[in-house]
Each structure stands twice: as C-alpha cells, then as structure tokens.
Structure 1
Amino acid sequence: MCMDCSIKKLDKELREIFDLYLNQKTDIECFRDSVLESTRQAFIPTLGETRIPANDVTLFDHSFSTASLYKTQLARAVLKNEIPSTEKWRVFGIFWNGARFMSQARKAADALNRQEIINEIKKELKHHFEIKYPIGNTIFEDTDSIFFTFPAFGKSEDLAKECMLKAVDIIRAESNGDLWPVCALSQERRSPAVIAEMMEFFETRKGIDKESAILYIQNEKNKFEPKNSLDINNPLLESEIPDRNGQYDICPVCRIRVKKEKDDACGVCLERRRGRIEKWVDNRNNTETIWVNEAADENNRVALISIEFGIKEWLNGKWLQSQWVQTIQDWIDNLRNSPKKLKNIENSILKNKGIVKNDISELNVVNTIKLLEVIATKPNEKESQKKDAFFTFFNKGEAPEGQKLTDSIEDIENRTTIIGEKQYKLFNYLFNKHPSPARLRRVWTETQDFITTVQNNIHEQINQIPATRLILKTKSSNLPKNLPLPPTWNAVEINGLNPARFQIVQINDTYFATITNLSEFEYRSGTTNEVLRGLEAVKKAVENSDKLKIVNEEDRKEQKPYHIQINNIEPEQYTPAITLLKSPYKFQMLVPAFSVPQVLKIITSLYDKWFSKVYGKLPLNVSVLAANKKFPLYVLLGSASKMLNNHDGFNKLYEMEPYWNVNDSGSDPYYGYYPTDDGVSPEKLAPIKDGEMFYLSPGWFDFDFLGGTADRGRIFYGNGEKPARESIRYGWKKPRPYKFHQIKDMLRLHDILGGLSRTQVNGIEQALISKLESWEYPEYPDRNKVFNEFAKAVIIDAFTPKKWNEISPENRSFVENVIDSGLLVDTIQLYNHVIKVKIGGEEDE
C-alpha cells in the first residue's frame, strides 16, 4: 500500500474510533486498543528515521516508546503537581518463576493452560498499570516477568509499594496461589537498558522456591535492596480435605495443594486441565493438537525443540556499541567539506596536542577518543576552539549551539548508559547506536516476530503430509454419565489391527475422537487378507467391529470395560505439533521426531535471513530432546531447562575466526565491526575479516534421547572453562555441545552420507567409535592424527575410491575436516539413534 493510501486509511479508521468513543459506544480500554492496533498497522511498515544507519527502528516502535515515556512524565506531573524538569524515569519490574511453573506440567493440556494463565496475568497487570492507574506502558515482557515505565519523583517508592500490593493480588488470584511474585524498582535513568540489570537480579531469585512478596529498590551502587515485604500464606489446604479418614497426598502437578490418593491431581489442576481440553474440543479442526500421542511419529517418538535468544547483552546496550550511527570516515568527510574549520582544528588541537602528526586522515577510533578527552578536560579553557571542534561531530542543525560546552558534555554524560570516563561516554553518544527505548523495543519485538515465523513455517512443513484423526459417532453405548473431564479411553482388543489398541477422547455423549497418531497401524482383513495401513487401517478395523470395547484410561487394570457401537466415521485434519512455550526470546514445541531435520533447517535458514548483520553478536541456542511418547512430560521439560544452561561458558565471548561469509557484513561500515578483545568497547573494535581472530558469541546446539528418567542426569556440562558433556563421549572426544552454526554442517553431512547404504553408514559409525574407545588409553602424541587417517580410510572404503573421487573437492574436504571434531559420529547418532531417521539407502550397492 502506498504512503498516501496508508495515511488516508488510518485517518478514516481513527475518525471512526473517536466517534464511537465520543458517542459513548465504547469504553476507554477498547478505544485505546483500537487506536494502538490501527496505528500499528499503519506505522509498522514505515521507518522512524530515514537516514542510514539510524533507520533500524519502525515508526510504530519509535512512536509507542516516545508515548510511553511521555505518559510516565504526565503521571509524574499529576502525582507531583508540577511539570517535570528532567527527562528521567524509573522502571518497575514484576517477576514470577514462570519457567518452573511451566515445567511442572504433567500433560500437554497442563502446559498449555499454564501458558494461558501467564498470559492472563500479564493482561491483567497491563490493564491495571496502563489503563486503570496509568503510570506508564509495558517496555518488556516474557514468561517470567513484565516491566513498566514508572514516574520518578519523591514518593516513587511509596507508589511502587502500592503497585506491588495490587500485582501480588492479581498474580496470586490468577494462578490460584501457585506463583509467588517479587517486585523491583530501578534507579532514575534516561534509558530503559536497566531492565537487563533487573533481569539478572530476578535470575538470582529463581533458586528460591517460595518467599514473601518483597519490593526491592535499586540503590546508587546499582544493587537491589529489600525495602518492603508482604507475607503470603499458602493456599488453604484444610478446606480441601472433606473426609479426614480418607487417603490424601500432595498434588504432583502444582506441588502445593492436596488431592485424593486415587486422583491424578488436585481439584484446581484438574479443573484447569478440563478447561483446556474443552477449548480444544470447541476449536480443534486444522489446529495444533494437545495430545502428545498425536504429535508422535511412526516410531512413537516425539522431539522437544527449544530455542532461546541471548538478548540480555542487547537489552543492556552492550552490543549496540559495536554498531555505528556515523563512522570516523563519515566525520572526516564532513570535516573536509568545511576547509576553514578543518584547518583550525588541525592546527589548534590535533597537531598541537600530538593527536596527529600530519593531517586528519590519520584519525582512527583511538586518537578520536584522545581528541574527545582534550575537549572534555577543562572545557572552559579555550572554550571556543574546543566548542568548534566538538560541534563538528554533529549533523547540521543538531549541535547544541545555544549551550555552554560544559553543559553539553554533562547533558551527554547523563544520556549515555555506559560506565567509563567522559571521553568514552562522548564517543559512545556521537558514534555508536544508543539503547533508546525504541531500539530496545525493536530488539525483542524482532526476536518475537522471528519466533512466530519459525512456528508458522514448522506448521507449513509438517502439514505437507496431512495428519488426520477420526471422529467416531456412536449409535449406542453403555457408558456412565457425567464423568469428570472429557474422559480419555483406550479402544482395545480390535481383531486384525496392529497395534491392537488406540486412544480416543469423549467429546460429548455421542462423539469420540482418536488421539493417537494413526500412521503406525496396520489392518489385515480376515476375508480378503488385504493389508491396510494408517488411517484407512483403523477406519476399516472399526467398521468391521460390531462393538468397540473401550476402557477408561484411569482404569489401569482394565477391570471395567465398556462398549460403544459406531455408526459413522469422519476424518478431521490437525497439526501434529504442540507449542508449549512462546515468549519474545524463548520457544518450545513438541514435534514428531522424524521432522527434526526439517525444523532445524527452518530455524537456521530463517536466522540467516533475519540476522545476517549480527552474526556472532546475537546468539541463538537450540536444543533437541527426543523421547518415547509415553515419557513423562514434566521430566522432558525439566531436562530441556538444563540443556545449554548452568554453565558460564554459554554466556562468554570466544576468540575464533568468523564462521560465515564476511563479504556482506564485512563491507558494511556500520554493522561489520567486531571486538578483537574480550569485551565490547570502541577501541577494541575492528572490521570483520576472514582468517582473523575476533571475540564472538556464536550460540549453541545440543541434542539427546531420553530413554528413561535417569537419562536426564546426562545433561551436565562439567566445570571446565568451556561447556562439555562428560557423559556423552566417544573415547577421548567429548563433542557436545556444538556451536549453533554447526547445525548446517550436520544437515550437509547427512546429504553427503545419503549416497551410501544404511549398512555402510552403520559400518562407519561402528568402526570409528570402536577405535575411539580402544585407543583412549594410553595417550600418545599422534593419536588424533592417526585416528583421522584411519577414519578417512574407512569413509573412502565405504564410498569406494571411485565414488569418493566423484564427490566434489569441497565436500570431500568438508567430510575430512569434521572427523576430528566428532561431528561425523554425532551426526550419525542424531539421525540413526535419537530421531531414528536412518541415513542412507535401503540396499547395499
């Protein structure tokens, strides 16, 4: 849509929205939501700034962030009864342990309901603090927390205490007492980058299971001190025990309330589960399933895909220091357009102070900082000369010419978020991108949009082969009435069907739906001996059964069978995936295990498309945990929380060569700078180049198969400088975890090995692992070299020398290079043993 058309459309919509509100046909909340949505649709495609490289923020992000800060200043003006004289504000954060809350789910319906509870909590908090008592707007939110802009005035702490009391009421009520909130109030700032500090503080509270609601205030040393607390009692458990002589224990889901010993969960948790199943019943066609059995593949395996962006170093502004709003060369070019100014600066400061020997072309980051040091040191001495030099750093019309130099420098110091001497703060303000509210909002909304795109693409991929369930309409049954929950049943003892049972859920009195992946079934007709497979097999088996024998899933010993007579069967498509967690920078989805390679390809290809300018700066961690469909979901979720976690090495910068094609990013003068030392500061940055060492944040990848609950103990990364899975080793090699970019190496290696038979691939795996284990002890200097030569010979033998030479030189070199890292063996492990998608063809050639 053209710009004029978009403006006219927005004008028309806003007129209609205002008319409805002014005529009292809608309330203030609906009015606000409508205005935000209309402006969002119009402003998202538009840039908030047209000049390169400041054009990285949309007009909506810029407008929303500006309005949020102005709103907070208005709140301050009302509360203080005066117009604010400074542009500072505070941030009010509310934390609850959403990750633990989610990981307690026993069934997929539990996890989905808990995600809805968290979403409802955030919705209620926004309603209270953005509309009912409008102190500000939300500037960041995730599964564990939400942050609001907050007015800075003398009684901010008293107001924060009132807000804490209301937040506690909302969170405790919506979660039925399962969540225990903690609140924090930041120091006065001019940037919302403080939310990264608050997130780090909230991380320290995750180890505390339950505590009183406490308001923490950030002091001048940036430490959070407890100021106010509110005692929180456990939910009333006594009232849930009507029969003192009965048998009760703790609910295994919430781990707070009591339940009857025979029940699967307490009343609250069962009601939540029932509610989520009923939502699925009302909206189940062509949507994600909520049944793990339906998400399993033909091998009865599911895979939990977890992705998480490392955005904290962006939210605190650290990585923004590696991006430029103007380069040194930009500034030099502008100076050369004013020969008189250039000559004066060269003679009066640059040469006089020994910053350059000959002319301005010698300027770089280091001596530009020296120039700023001269300007910032005793600015009142030779102020006119220093002021003229200082104003050359600004674009035309942007220099604060009406201010004294000392005031200009002090104003900039107050605006920057970095810690350091004046010259570094000045350089950061004049040359680097700033952690403005709009830019920080763009960071997490971009990762959030990426996650949504990944989710949609996964749906498209796995729906290419439609998954279908059967809707069974009964003619008659002897089922009991008013059973709790929409009950699930096992259809058993079906003649000719293999396996001989499948699961169904009772939708209403007469309708049932299968909730098992039907692709695994076979049916042999007793009359024709015809073999049917998949959906048709189950359909035919049910049609040929006079009555279907079913047993309630809770009837473990199958002592009370029932019978239903089916008179109609209809197919219904669904998406065999379950989104368990979705936040601005985290995502978890259960998918059929066989689809993992396609999912990994989607993630890596979209990352390349979206974030090519920030390779090595915006890490993405990806993990895959496969398990049988009957594996306890809470163990799977708990294990996933340990993957790529609990080791400082995952948050470090690593000295390494660029692992991507630097031709594009390296030639970009604004984005192509990377640290050459451990830390991101201007003097440590250099243009990215092939073959040189830089300090990068690469992201990580790990995978495993959990065959039993004890296998979760394997997820441990040691105490070394770098994370290493001690429990996953092949002789002396401990290859996991991998760098994120090595996922593409595994996908590429799979394609190359696909030219072999499965027997040959298995032979390579067995030969390499056998030698790695037998040569582990004793150690000798040439062990790696000898093994690599042995592995190369095994691979050539598997392909045959003729076919090996027919492979491209690039692919031959690639295969030889991945031997030493362990990636070759682990690629075979991932495909053949974890997700059971065999590499290679059916027959030996």
Structure 2
Amino acid sequence: MSSTFPPAEILHQRRPLLLAMEAIGWFHMVGKARAEFLRRHGGENNGYDERRWHQQETPPFPWDDLLDWVRRLYGARIPVDAWPSTFAAFTEQHAERNPGLLGLLQAAHGIVSGVEKNLPASTSRYLNQTTLHMWLSSPWGHPKRNLLADPPEILAPHGWQQLVAEIRRVLEELRDLGTKRVQDVALWRRWREAAIGEGSFIRRTFLSTLAETRLPNNDVTLWDQSYVAAALFKSAVAGALLNSSFPWTDSGIKNNTRWRLLTVALGTEHYEARAVKIGDWTSVQSAIEEFFGQVAQLVEVDLAVGSLLYRDNSVAVFSFPGERFDETVPAGWLSGWENWLQNQAEAIAHDLNLETPPHVHLSKPTRSLVPLVKERREALRKTAVPVHKTWNVNWTVPGELQGHVCPVCRVRLNGDPTNKGKPCAVCRQRRHHRRDAWLQGQLGYDTIWFEEVADRNGRLALLTFSLDLGDWLNGERVDSLRAQAIPEWVRFNPVLDVTANPIDPQVAHESLRAYVRDRLLSFNPNDLVLRNLQEGYRHEGDWPTFFHKIVEDRADAPKWGELDDDQRAAWLAHQLFRKLPSPGRVYRFWREAEEFFTDLLREFRQIAARSDNPWRVRRLVLVPDDNSGWRNLTLYNGRWQGRQISLVYVREMKGFMTAFNLTRLLWPEDKKDALKGIQISLEDEDAPGQGRDMTVTQVRELRQPYAHLGVYHPVMPVELSPLRFRVLVPLEAASECVDLAVEWWRERFARVWDRLPLRVGVIAFPRLVPYQAVVEAARNVEDTLAASEETWCVQEVERRAGVVALRLRRQDGRETMRIVPVTMPDGREDVFYLYVAVEDRSLRFRRDFQHPHGQVYRHVADLRPGDGIRVIPSRAKTLFLESTAARFDTSKPRYLEDWTQMRRVWALLQRVAPSQTALQRLRSELARLERDWQSPDGQQAASDDLWRDTLRALLAHHLEVKGAALETLTEAAVQGTLQWAMDWHMTVLKETI
C-alpha cells in the first residue's frame, strides 16, 4: 500500500484495532447459535439469555482477557470515555443506546438487525414460531430446514462447544498478531480468511441457524446479520478515527451514523467478448479474480476500512465510512479518498497486466444497501467502453515490440511476423497459468478442455441461466412482501394496551392510511397505533426525521418535503407493514441466488459424468516412440482414422495425457492397451500446419503426483455470479440439466414465480465452432430473454391441500398452470410472500394493499377469474450453431413452461411413434405444409380449424395414433411445440426412438 496519503496511513497504523472491532461484530450475537435460544423463542421457559451466554460457560468466557490488549495499545487513540467498561458489553448491550464504540456497534446492529425487529414484542407474538416448527426459510419464503426437529451441527451440544473453542482460537490469534505489531498484510489476511472465509467453521455454522425466529423474518441467518453488522461497525469506527472532531461522547451516535458504498468495477464483458478460445477467457478470469482479491485485501485488511457487501463477475461493493446526519455538507475527512483508491486500483490492474482500467466510486451517505443496484449500473456503464479513461497498457516483453497484433488482447504485439494466430507473451502466460492450476488440482475435477466436454457426437452446449435479481437488490420488488398483513395484525391485537384497536380489519389498508394521515398534524411519540407498529417511533421527536428513517432510507422514495400529507401517509402506511430491504436481507438475496447456481453446478457435474461407458470420465497417458521436440504443457490436436483427438504433452510424465472424450476410441469392454500401437498425426495448437506423427508405444494410468487427473467431470464453469450462470456441458446432458434447473426453480421460488423469473438459454454447437461465435450467440440469446412485464389473465382459481392452482391465460393467448403453496410448514396461512400485482386499482379484499404509486397487490388466494396480474415471465431459448452465421438468429424465445411441454411431447413420441422413419416422414411433411400454407406476410393462410384438422389427419396417418395421444400431439403441432421437440431431439441431439 502506498503511504503517501495521510488518511490511509492513519488507518494502516490502526489496522489491529479495526480488525478487532470487526471480530467483535462477528461475535456480538453468537449467543443465538444455541438450541436454547430457539427453544426460548419457541415458547419454552428455559431462562436462557443469549446476550450473557459467556457468563454461563464454565469457566466464564474471558472477553476481557482476549480483547483488552486493544484498549492497552490504542486507548490513547480513542477517548477513555468511548471505551465500554468491559468487552462483554458488546454482546450484552448491542441493542441499546450508548456513546462511544458501543454506540457505533449499536448503529450497525440497529440498521442491519433492528430493521427486522422493529415490531414491538407485545403486538408481534402471534408471529412466533414454535419449537415443533422452528423453520429457517429462504429469502423468498421457501422452507429450508426445521432447525429443532432436524438440527444442524451447531445446535448440538458438541457444535456449541466447538464454536466457543473456535471463537477463542480466532481471538487468541488476533491478540498475537496485534500485540506483536505484525505488519505483514498477508498474515492478517490469512487470519481473517481462516476465521470467516468460505468453508470456515464460523461461517458454516452461522449460515445454518437463525438470527430472528419470528415469521416472516426467519429468512435472515445469523451469518447475514452478524457479517453485515461487523462490516458496518468496522467502517463506522474507521470513519470516527479519520474524523478528528468525532463526537465520541454523543449518546445519539446510533441514530446519526451513516455509511457510504465503495464500488470497484472492471469491464469484464470486454475480456470475454475478445476471447479466441475458452482458455483465453477462463485464464483471464484468474487475473480478474486476483484483481478483486487484491482490492479486497486493501479495503478489508490493509486499511480495514470496510468489508465486501456484494460481488459479481464485474463489480465489488464494500462498506465505507460516511458522514453523520449532522454533517450537512461533504465531510472534509473524506476528501481525496476516491481519487486515492482509484490510483490504488489502477496500480493493481497495471501490475496484473490488465488491458482496461478499473472504475472506483464512493456513493452518497446512506443507511441501507438500496443504492447498491444504482451504483452497480453506473459502474457497468462507465466500464462498457474498454478504455473509459487514459490507460497505458503494460508492455512486459521488450522483444515482442514487433510482429502481429495479439488476436486475444488486441493491444500488444506477438513478436512473430510470420504467425497471426500466435498470442502475445502476456496472453500465452495466462493460458499456461490456467494449465498449471489444472495440473496441480486447484480447479478440482472440472476439465479445462473442450474435447473432454464434447459428447460422443462431438457436440457441446453452453447453458446460460439468470435470475432477474436487480430489482430485489434495490428493494423495488420487496414492495410485494409483507412483514405483517394489516388484518392479521388487527385480528391478533384487538386491544392495544387497554384501548380497542382503531384500525378496521375489513378495510384495513384504507383505515391505516386515514389514521396516519390524521396524526400528521402533530407528532405524538406515545401514539397508540404507531408505537405498537414500530419500535423506534417512541424515540423520535418529529415526523420528518421518522419519515427519513422509515421511508427515505429504505426505499427509492420521494423526500418528505416533496410530498403532501396524503402521500406521506401512503408511504408510511406502506413501509410500516412492508418487508424491508434491510442490509442483511439484501446481502442474503444475492448470496442465495449464487447458492442456487452453485447447487445446480454440483448436480450438473453428476449428470454430465453419467455414462454407460466408463472411459467417458477417464484420462490415460500415451507414451510416444520419440519424446524429443515436444513442447511441455502444450495442447496438440491430432487425427487418427478420421477421428479428431487432443493430447497434452507433459514432460514429467514422458508422454501425452489424453484431453478428449475417450469414448470416441474405446468401447466399454475395451482395455487401455487397445490404443497401443496407433499412429497419430499431431499439430501444436499455436502452430497449425506444422504437423508431426507419433506412434503410441505404451499406455499408462496416471500416477502420482498427477493421479488426481485420472478422472474428471466433463463440465466447464464459464461464469458463476448472483446475476448469471454460464456452464459448458456435453450436449447429450444439456436437456437433463435444464430440466433440473426448471424443477428446482419451480420448487424454491414458487411463492415469487411472477417476479423472480428464471431465464434459460441453450446454445448447442459442434466442437469446431469458434468460441468467439459461441459467446456472441450466448449474448444475443441473453438479450432476447430479457422480457418486459406482461399481463396474464386469471381463468380459474382452485384451492386445496395447502396450495392454490391458478389457470392463467398468457399474453400469447395460450393457457398455463401455476401451483403456489399458500400455507407455512406449521399449517398457518402464508400472508407474507404471496401477493401479486394486479391490474385492478381498487382494494376489493381485506388483504389487498396499495403501493403509494398506485399499484395494488392481492393475495393469490383472493384472485378471481378475470383478474389481470402483472408477470415478469420466465423464458427459454435454444439455438443450434450449425455454422457461425446462426449466432445472428432472431427467433423469439419461448415461455419456460413450453420447454417442459416440449420435453413431454418428445417423451410421448418415443412411446407412440412406430419407427424413426415414420418420425422423419412426419417431420418432412410438417415442414412442407408450413411452407406451402404460409401467406406472404409469414402468417398461416388457413383458418385455425382447417389447420388443426389437417395436422390431426397428418399425425394419425404417419404415427397411427388416436384418442388422447392424438389430441395432445395435434395441439402441440398447432403451437409449434411438436416441431421444436423433433428439431431439438432429432437434429441437434441426434436421438432416436
């Protein structure tokens, strides 16, 4: 880290203090990681106090013994009155209101955790879960685990003992580093990664249990709240250290603290678009990951000024100190930070030989993560132009200042005037770095070779999946979720204190808005309704301040001064019952989406590896007759008896390792020696046309230190982020992978199917199609999948066995079904997640509510035939790149349910079709009919009835079917699904019946 920036040097010198504060943030709620906590909130009177868990340990947990070194070393940096009397106060008083360091933790805890708990306990008891049904939920309402009936490791006695021991170890190592004044950033980073990194015990156990047990806030884990609170606490302390006039003794610290978001972005799409081969992209990914890793080290460890709050393939967002509410102009102590951080990020990128500059930006002060999406979009806009600012590319090899422009990076010269296809030294180094990591087993069992992914027909598929997550991260779609349903709150609270609840449950939304509107005439902190709806209301002194914290901080809403009283009342009534996009929940949204894709990747590996030929996932070593002259770790493309194969020469093996699908050469019953004696013509991938023959003299299994490469998964993850998942799989496995993704989406996102769509693209291609064409096709497909909102009409609603079945007419006039669960696991009705946006602007049912902008939301169980609901549809598109020209395909995508129907139609054809020949004849005849009966404008010239009757007769003639099967296939042919099924399975997949 450059130390020429004095504010950065201040934080650098106080790194142990800041990391100690972050550790306190991780552990300040650790008492919740016990079954006793869940049981007490489930109704068991066990006397457990999670805030004083340390006193119940034998001997008591020594907070002061482990942390008092911080006070000894840094007591002079912070006024003595700002330190709590004991470090146990951080666990015991984190929800109260104090000055000093404790107040800063309370500010972080309050904005992350308190937002979830703004409901007074006296009026929210009906939301409690019981010990029989203490469920951890996904952020979209899907039950994940009954924690007491099926406890995770942490809720067992040995789990708690292990956790306490791990906390002690983490704090002891922290003490050793701090008291020894260790300067090596790598050691501090290693300590932090061991404590809370991916796979750490603390992270794993905190993810498995709850921070809040009440419905519907049982969707935020202990990890979400603890990690984000620790991030904000660390940033708040850093800001206080930078601010020489910070009011350490102010008891209003909790309410006045704000933060900024630090966004760092890189034009990742540019690197992917120019990749000549898959290895060019996957190798530069490593450099990009290293860039973000070094930026994270600078922010999280070296400066210890913030922590990562969001990350995808192109953008990282960190917490950062911000001005207090009483700092009405940009704070002087923040001056210069953005420019200095920009210079640091550029230096990192330059050292990694990246060809484009990064973008760094600090947001305006905020108390939420709602601005995160806006910050991300602006960062992507800035980096969309490869060089959005002055940038000097690093020329690392002086001898290569000649030759052709590198075909990969397109900015350096390759040093070889005779070879246009040769990459420059930097791009070659990236490719080999990727191969080194593969050889050393750092990439697991995934392959890095196209030829190994390709199926027996030499075909692959790039699958691209995305969840429309952006509007969840910025809080817009959280508008449809309820923290409480107003009629339910009234039903369970008919009396407030000793007075009848004045809100009418029959017209609950209008009644609440009118009540709030009347109270805006004067602010009364003892108001009966408001203090029983919002815990913090009684601590405020005026309406504008309360409005700012409840509305402006937690929604993209107008300011108090821009509204009249009717609009203010509408916003307050909405926010008081809305499920809020708190920092912990926003963090959970993107982490859950990423987890969904990670789970899919794990299953895709198993699907792709299944084969009736065991050679499918194995590698062998082919020893040549002559080991001289071969380049180490180089891919050679070869041919044997007309079949293309790929081999990698590894000098230490004294031979070639196979890098292709062995089922092309070996039958299941073949022995490896069947390859002995074959002669292969080989070409270096970087020197095509310069061939050489090789005869295999010996075939070996892989041995140490490369035994781990003996088997592999024929899968190549291309990108995995919260917003997009791309993966290469064998084409023969692609359909099953998509089937699984659709099935899981329907199950896990059933409650929000209308506003969290899954978009699926399948780009199938022969292995010789250039990778650049595949990427361009994928981008075009993804662009067509990004559909706008539609209105679907409710045709029928039926409720039974805990679900509502909706028969809907889509915008294309066809009908579809949706099955939506309407009960919670304990049998209670779900009144939190199941609200859809309707066309109707009137409030017709007790549970209806209206957004201040006018949109009405209705519970799915209250829908009636004729209602129009707003849907962001899930879509799917398949594309076969038989040639590179197909990447410009402009055909429209289909609804996701059409994919499932297409798969079922093919399954029906497999059962009823008399022969493959009959199917081929039917297909040819269908194509002829569609061509002959098409009008000049591309529409069907025949009437619907005539066209349907003609298709029915054609199907009956060629397939000899009748009854229900005939009607099903006829309808599929009318909709085009039958033709799609035959094209996909017969032409693309080369399947037979």
The answer to whether the superposition gives a TM-score over 0.5 is: yes
CA deviation string 1:243-283 (max 9, x = no partner): x6xxx221111111111242521111111111211222232
2:979 alignment partner in structure 1? 825
Whole-Å Cα distance in 1 between the matches of residues 956 and 164 of structure 2?
Answer: 69
Is 1:74 paired with 2:218?
no
Verify the 8 A CA contact 2:461 2:728 in the aligned structure 1: yes
Whole-Å Cα distance in 2 between the matches of residues 204 and 623 of structure 1?
Answer: 24
Q: In 2 relative to 1, CA 249–702 (structure 1 residues): closer, same or farther, beyond 3 Å?
A: same
Matches within 5 A, 1:773-788: 773-777=931-935, 783-788=943-948
Whole-Å Cα distance in 1 between the matches of residues 624 and 907 of structure 2?
Answer: 52
How many Å apart are 1:785 and its aligned residue?
Answer: 3.4
Q: In 2 relative to 1, CA 28–500 (structure 1 residues): closer, same or farther, beyond 3 Å?
A: closer
User: Quick check: 313-322 or 600-609, which moved more?
Assistant: 600-609
Q: 1:556 aligns with which of 677, 688, 691?
A: 688
2:856 alignment partner in structure 1? 684
Q: In 2 relative to 1, CA 137–746 (structure 1 residues): closer, same or farther, beyond 3 Å?
A: same
User: Quick check: 813-822 or 433-442, which moved more?
Assistant: 813-822
Is 1:235 paired with 2:427?
no
Q: 1:126 aligns with which of 271, 291, 296?
A: 296
Verify the 8 A CA contact 2:681 2:692 in the aligned structure 1: no
Whole-Å Cα distance in 1 between the matches of residues 242 and 189 of structure 2?
Answer: 22
Verify the 8 A CA contact 1:469 1:572 in the aligned structure 2: yes
Is 1:566 paired with 2:704?
no
Verify the 8 A CA contact 1:193 1:316 in the aligned structure 2: yes
Q: 1:161 aligns with which of 326, 339, 349?
A: 339
Whole-Å Cα distance in 2 between the matches of residues 204 and 582 of structure 1?
Answer: 21
TM-score by structure 2 length?
A: 0.71
Is 1:452 paired with 2:581?
no
Verify the 8 A CA contact 2:530 2:537 in the aligned structure 1: no
Is 1:477 paired with 2:655?
no
2:869 alignment partner in structure 1? 694
Verify the 8 A CA contact 2:765 2:880 in the aligned structure 1: yes
Q: In 2 relative to 1, CA 552–410 (structure 1 residues): closer, same or farther, beyond 3 Å?
A: closer
1:661 alignment partner in structure 2? 818
Q: 1:514 aligns with which of 647, 658, 661?
A: 658
User: Quick check: 196-205 or 297-306, which moved more?
Assistant: 196-205
3-state secondary structure, aligned to 1:30? helix
How many Å apart are 1:651 and its aligned residue?
Answer: 4.1
Whole-Å Cα distance in 2 between the matches of residues 671 and 122 of structure 1?
Answer: 36
CA deviation string 1:340-386 (max 9, x = no partner): 5226x37xxxxxxxxxxxxx23323344333333333x235xx58x9
CA deviation string 1:778-806 (max 9, x = no partner): 668863332233223333444434xx336
1:223 alignment partner in structure 2? none
2:433 alignment partner in structure 1? 275
Matches within 5 A, 1:597-636: 597-636=735-774
Q: In 2 relative to 1, CA 278–770 (structure 1 residues): closer, same or farther, beyond 3 Å?
A: same
How many Å apart are 1:16 and its aligned residue?
Answer: 2.2
Is 1:793 paired with 2:950?
no
Matches within 5 A, 1:639-788: 639-645=777-783, 650-657=787-794, 659-665=816-822, 668-677=830-839, 681=851, 683-688=855-860, 689=863, 691=865, 692-714=867-889, 716=890, 725=891, 736-755=892-911, 756=913, 757-777=915-935, 783-788=943-948
Whole-Å Cα distance in 2 between the matches of residues 448 and 473 of structure 1?
Answer: 40
3-state secondary structure, aligned to 2:925? helix
| Amino acid in structure 2 at the alignment position of 1:59 | L
How many Å apart are 1:190 and its aligned residue?
Answer: 1.4
How many Å apart are 1:405 and its aligned residue?
Answer: 5.4
Percent of paired sites with the same residue: 20
Q: In 2 relative to 1, CA 3–32 (structure 1 residues): closer, same or farther, beyond 3 Å?
A: same
How many Å apart are 1:12 and its aligned residue?
Answer: 0.8
Q: In 2 relative to 1, CA 127–678 (structure 1 residues): closer, same or farther, beyond 3 Å?
A: farther
- How many aligned positions are there? 751
2:43 alignment partner in structure 1? none
TM-score by structure 1 length?
A: 0.83
Verify the 8 A CA contact 1:550 1:564 in the aligned structure 2: no
Whole-Å Cα distance in 1 between the matches of residues 387 and 157 of structure 2?
Answer: 55
Verify the 8 A CA contact 1:676 1:685 in the aligned structure 2: yes
Verify the 8 A CA contact 2:460 2:728 in the aligned structure 1: yes
Q: 2:410 aligns with which of 255, 261, 268?
A: 255
Matches within 5 A, 1:142-157: 142-153=312-323, 154-155=331-332, 156-157=334-335
Verify the 8 A CA contact 1:89 1:190 in the aligned structure 2: yes
1:322 alignment partner in structure 2? 480
Whole-Å Cα distance in 1 between the matches of residues 725 and 980 of structure 2?
Answer: 25
How many Å apart are 1:97 and its aligned residue?
Answer: 1.3
Verify the 8 A CA contact 2:338 2:362 in the aligned structure 1: yes
Matches within 5 A, 1:83-482: 83=247, 86-153=256-323, 154-155=331-332, 156-174=334-352, 176-212=353-389, 231-236=390-395, 239-241=398-400, 248-259=403-414, 260-261=416-417, 262=419, 264-283=422-441, 287-338=445-496, 341-342=499-500, 345=502, 360-376=504-520, 378-380=521-523, 383=524, 387-394=527-534, 398=535, 400-404=537-541, 406=543, 407-420=545-558, 421-465=567-611, 466=614, 467-474=616-623, 476-477=625-626, 479-480=628-629
How many Å apart are 1:151 and its aligned residue?
Answer: 1.2
Whole-Å Cα distance in 2 between the matches of residues 185 and 192 of structure 1?
Answer: 13
Whole-Å Cα distance in 1 between the matches of residues 309 and 776 of structure 2?
Answer: 29
3-state secondary structure, aligned to 1:623? strand
Q: 1:33 aligns with which of 170, 186, 193?
A: 193
Q: In 2 relative to 1, CA 317–71 (structure 1 residues): closer, same or farther, beyond 3 Å?
A: same
Whole-Å Cα distance in 2 between the matches of residues 707 and 781 of structure 1?
Answer: 30
Is 1:578 paired with 2:733?
no
3-state secondary structure, aligned to 1:580? strand
How many Å apart are 1:338 and its aligned residue?
Answer: 3.9
Verify the 8 A CA contact 1:469 1:515 in the aligned structure 2: no
How many Å apart are 1:741 and its aligned residue?
Answer: 3.0
2:79 alignment partner in structure 1? none
Unaligned ranges ≥5, structure 1: 213-230, 347-359, 522-532, 717-724, 726-735
How many Å apart are 1:473 and its aligned residue?
Answer: 5.0
1:525 alignment partner in structure 2? none
Is 1:836 paired with 2:973?
no
3-state secondary structure, aligned to 2:500? helix
User: Quick check: 314-323 or 2-11, which moved more?
Assistant: 2-11
3-state secondary structure, aligned to 1:644? helix
1:722 alignment partner in structure 2? none
User: Quick check: 120-129 or 609-618, which moved more?
Assistant: 609-618
Verify the 8 A CA contact 1:321 1:681 in the aligned structure 2: yes
How many Å apart are 1:540 and its aligned residue?
Answer: 4.7
Verify the 8 A CA contact 2:919 2:959 in the aligned structure 1: no
1:64 alignment partner in structure 2? 227
Q: In 2 relative to 1, CA 813–191 (structure 1 residues): closer, same or farther, beyond 3 Å?
A: farther
Is 1:13 paired with 2:188?
no
3-state secondary structure, aligned to 2:761? strand
CA deviation string 1:23-78 (max 9, x = no partner): 44993322222332332122111112100011111110011111111222111111
User: Quick check: 614-623 or 761-770, which moved more?
Assistant: 761-770
Whole-Å Cα distance in 2 between the matches of residues 9 and 568 of structure 1?
Answer: 46
Q: In 2 relative to 1, CA 255–461 (structure 1 residues): closer, same or farther, beyond 3 Å?
A: same
How many Å apart are 1:110 and its aligned residue?
Answer: 2.0
| Amino acid in structure 2 at the alignment position of 1:713 | F
3-state secondary structure, aligned to 1:47? coil
Whole-Å Cα distance in 2 between the matches of residues 677 and 167 of structure 1?
Answer: 48
